Amino acid sequence: MEWFQHPDSSAPPAAYLAAGFVAVMLIAVSKGGFGSGLGMLSVPVMMQVLPSSVALPMMLPVLIWCDVLAIRQYPGEWRPRAVWLVAPGAMAGIVIGWGILYRLNDAPRELRVTNDAWLKLVVGAICLGFVAVWALGLWLGRRAGERPAWRPGWVGGTLAGLPSGITTMLAHAAGPIYTMYLLPQKLDKREFVGTTVRYFFTFNLVKIPFFMMLPGGTGLNWPVFRATLWMLALAPLGVWAGSRLNRKLSPGVFNRLLYLFLALAGAKLIWDSSRVLWPGGGS
């Protein structure tokens, strides 16, 4: 069973496998181009059955494999300038996010539960924050339709890259920030997805050594990678489905449901973490 369920999970096998299946499908369908930001739900889902110190690195190989599959669905359909302009800020953000994770994981074992609760609190807050960002993005999208396409410079790219780098390291959840950066540039729908996929492929690869350097047996190691292998086999189906849906369906209602579930997942993570951090607060 260790090839399917990580040993740090105490969840029933059926619940664990269900969470893993849902998480990889969320990532793959989103990478395929349907349901912008859908993959953000994967980390909160896996945190229901795993400690955060395992859930975060476990999703990284799945994300990279889905990026590879998605790039094949969008050959040549991307805007390189929109990726390279955010690179300096994204790199700085990844280093900052790694420093936060390192500090949380580099602690005695008796403090791991508390630190795990703090990280879940952060991820939950990011989830709720991105629901607000999404709502703002709807408004910006309407306003962008009234204006000429924005051509960002290095300053705009860096300002977008820094928070996206931090959130992608802490929660694999930079999608809404990068979407907000791309929306005013008025890319074609498929060029938009192709650019987003290449951005995440580039910086997900950058994150590999940072996750491998996390202390205390946490981070990306063989037990974590071994437990992702069955998920990797599911990814092609989800990416193909996302690409087909991108061609045929409007994701408007779907995105509204996505952010409703994201809000619920974020609220549950905050609730669970608060019960550990402030056990007497609700009495």
**pLDDT at residue 283 above 50?**
no
**pLDDT at residue 264 above 70?**
yes
**pLDDT at residue 211 above 70?**
yes
pLDDT at 260: 77
pLDDT at 252: 65
Residue 135: φ, ψ to 5°: -60, -40
Give the residue-averaged pLDDT of 6-30.
Answer: 92
117-137: b (≥16 Cβ within 10 Å) or e? bbbbbbbbebbbebbebbeeb
What span, in angstroms and rounded, lies between the C-alpha atoms of 83 and 283? 49
Binning pLDDT at 50, 70 and 90, where does residue 200 land? very high
pLDDT at 36: 58
**pLDDT at residue 191 above 60?**
yes
pLDDT tens track for 123-182:
788 778 777 777 776 666 665 555 677 788 899 899 989 989 998 998 888 877 787 788
pLDDT at 225: 93
Q: What is the pTM of this model?
A: 0.82
